[in-house]
Amino acid sequence: MVEGTEEKPKTDKQRADEEMLEKINIATEKLDKANAKYARNKAAEEAAKIDAELDGEGEAGVKVKPKEETPKEYADKVLAGDV
């Protein structure tokens, strides 16, 4: 047998430290998963907001219809040089 290869019995403090590290690792994994889920949800929320804005919905979720010009209004704009 080679001297110094025997493992010493662990003290209560060492066992407690190892348990604490294991709990910290588990908590870290849970936080990483929660952060990833939050990022996915946030991206989906932003995409939905952009889609709503492009569909003509305002901040309150009310569709805003663009005002349609009458032929007379269009002709007035053309004659005024606004088009």
Flag whether 79 is in a domain. no
Return the higher-pLDDT residue of 1 and 44. Answer: 44
User: The pTM is what?
Assistant: 0.48
Query: Can you read off the two tokens belonging to residue 35?
Result: 């952060």
pLDDT band for position 82 (50/70/90)? Answer: confident
pLDDT of residue 19: 96
Q: Which amino acid is at 47?
A: A
Flag whether 65 is in a domain. no
Q: What is the pLDDT of residues 9-65, one digit of tens each?
A: 889 999 999 999 999 999 999 999 999 999 999 999 999 888 877 777 666 666 667
Flag whether 5 is in a domain. no
In angstroms, the CA 57 to CA 81 distance is: 31
pLDDT of residue 22: 96
Flag whether 78 is in a domain. no
pLDDT of residue 57: 65
In angstroms, the CA 19 to CA 9 distance is: 16
Q: What's the domain range around 49?
A: 12-58
Q: Give the count of domains, the chain.
A: 1
